[in-house]
Structure formats: C-alpha cells, structure tokens
Amino acid sequence: MTKLSVNVNKVATLRNARGGNNPDVLKVALDCEIFGAQGITVHPRPDERHIRRQDVYDLSKALHEEFNIEGYPSEDFCSLVCEVRPAQVTLVPDAPDQLTSNHGWDTHRHHEFLSSVVKRFKACGIRVSIFVDPSKEAVEWAQKAGADRVELYTEPYASNYAINREATIAPFVEAAEHCRKLGLGLNAGHDLSLENLAYFHRCIPWLDEVSIGHALIADALYLGLKETIPLYLKCLED
C-alpha cells in the first residue's frame, strides 16, 4: 500500500502571512490524519517562512501517523531532527534562500557528506530518505550512502504529463525498478496532483509513500480537506 503524507507547509505560509495562529497548523495536521492522511510532512527552513521550529516540536508530540521532516542537513537541521526523532527524515539539497526544491542530490558527488549525515540519523533510529532525480546512478549512490529510501523528484513528470505521459514516466519507472532491485524503499513527491497521481501510481504501484502539499491544499480551498484527502487516497488504490 502506498501511503499519503500531507505536506502542511502551505498552511503555515497562510498563517504567517497575517500573524497569529489562523489557520492552526497543528489542528490542520491532526484533521488531515482524521480525514485519512497516513503521514504529515514539514520542511522547516532557516528563515521560518512557513514551518517554524516550534511547529516541529508541537507536531512531534501530537501526531499519531508518521512524521516526515525534510530539509537541507545543516547542523541546525540535524540537531532539530535528532532531538524530535521523527519516523523519517528526507534530505534535500536546497540552498537556504531557495523558493522550493527543484532538483535532487548529486549523490555521487556528495557521497561522503551524505554518508555521514545518514549515519548520524540512523544512529537515532530515524529512517532516512534522499531526494533524487530519476536516474539509476543517483539511486545507486543513495544506497551506498546508507539511505533506507529515496524520494523521486517528480516535477519533470508533472510538467510534461499532459504532453506525453508515457514518455515522461519512463525514467521514473526505470529508477523505481532499480530501487526495487537494490532493495531500497521508494517515495515520490513534488507537483503530484489529482490530475497525474493515479497514472504515476499505476505505473509504479510499489511506491511506499507520496508526499503532497501544494496541489492538495489548493484543491482543499475549493473542496475542503475532508473531501480532498479521500480523492488523493483513491488515486493510490491498488
């Protein structure tokens, strides 16, 4: 079964735009669980432009489903993750001022650095996923770094889905099959939506998890969270 982890960064962005605590990130995350989400994802950036450090503490104490914290493994980030010990940490290569994730790690070039970070997190009992582009080389070096899973960066798939979905899914299937061959767990995320998720899952049904935030929250503005989350879960049915 492929789990749906809801990224609540956009909820925090909306809260921070006005100050105060409306919407309440913790309540939204807990409601997402009630409505069927099987995990919650956050990306605490150094400037706290959406998720704040305090959000991470609050969520870690209250969530019932898996908590996934993603981010660039700076010392501050690593210390925070090791302190709260979520079920999973996802390592992304984002610069501190980057608007959003737009590429995966060069896992070969950064092998030594990633290996040391992975070792640190695994010593705390945290499952480690590395954000990668859909290539066999990236997958192989992620495994060599000690990762438990990789997360495939799916924006290129989403951008080209309407043009030629068969062609655009091909490198993702190849990378996913290589993961399965190597015994690596497999996540996916970035710009997955109600339009393109079902086909992605149909082509790669052994996905462990998808992490979706922007599209899901945008859909919820019209449909409501209670109605939106089951629609995404339906896309992941076997």
Report the CATH number that the domain containing residue 198 is assigned in CATH: 3.20.20.70
What's the mean pLDDT when you consider all of the chain?
96
What lies within 8 Å, CB to CB, of 11 at 6+ separation is 23, 25, 28, 29, 217
Closest CA to 62 of 34, 89, 99: 34
Indicate the pairing of strand 88-91 with strand 66-71.
parallel
What was the pLDDT predicted at 105?
96
The answer, yes or no, to whether residue 194 has pLDDT greater than 90, is yes
What was the pLDDT predicted at 238?
74
**pLDDT tens profile 155-193:** 999 999 999 999 999 999 999 999 999 999 999 999 999
What was the pLDDT predicted at 98?
56
Instruction: Name the band, by pLDDT with cuts 50, 70 and 90, for residue 12.
Output: very high
Q: In angstroms, rounded to a whole number, what is the distance separating the alpha carbons of residues 144 and 157?
A: 26
**pLDDT tens profile 78-115:** 999 999 999 999 999 976 665 566 679 999 999 999 99
Instruction: Please tell me which residue in 70, 151, 178, 201 is annotated as part of the active site.
Output: 70
What was the pLDDT predicted at 233?
98
Length of the chain: 238
Strands (DSSP E) along the chain, which ranges?
Answer: 3-7, 39-42, 66-71, 88-91, 127-132, 149-153, 185-189, 209-212
**pLDDT tens profile 21-40:** 999 999 999 999 999 999 99
The answer, yes or no, to whether residue 199 has pLDDT greater than 80, is yes
Q: In angstroms, rounded to a whole number, what is the distance separating the alpha carbons of residues 126 and 86?
A: 6
103 is catalytic: no
Q: How many domains does the chain have?
A: 1
Other C-beta atoms lying within 10 Å of the C-beta of residue 151 = 29
What was the pLDDT predicted at 97?
61
Other C-beta atoms lying within 10 Å of the C-beta of residue 212 = 26
Mean pLDDT over 142-153 rounds to: 98
What was the pLDDT predicted at 103?
76
Q: Phi and psi at residue 206, in whole multiples of 5°? A: -90, 10
At position 182, the amino acid (one-letter code) is: L
**Contact yes or no for 188/154 (Cβ under 8 A):** yes
Q: pTM of the predicted model, to two decimals? A: 0.96
CA pseudo-torsion sign 36, 205, 69, 121: positive
Q: Print the domain residue range for 168.
A: 3-235
Mean pLDDT over 121-138 rounds to: 98
Percentage of the residues of the chain whose pLDDT score is greater than 90: 95
Instruction: Please tell me which residue in 50, 178, 190, 201 is annotated as part of the active site.
Output: 190
**pLDDT tens profile 71-81:** 999 999 999 99
What was the pLDDT predicted at 124?
98
64 is catalytic: no
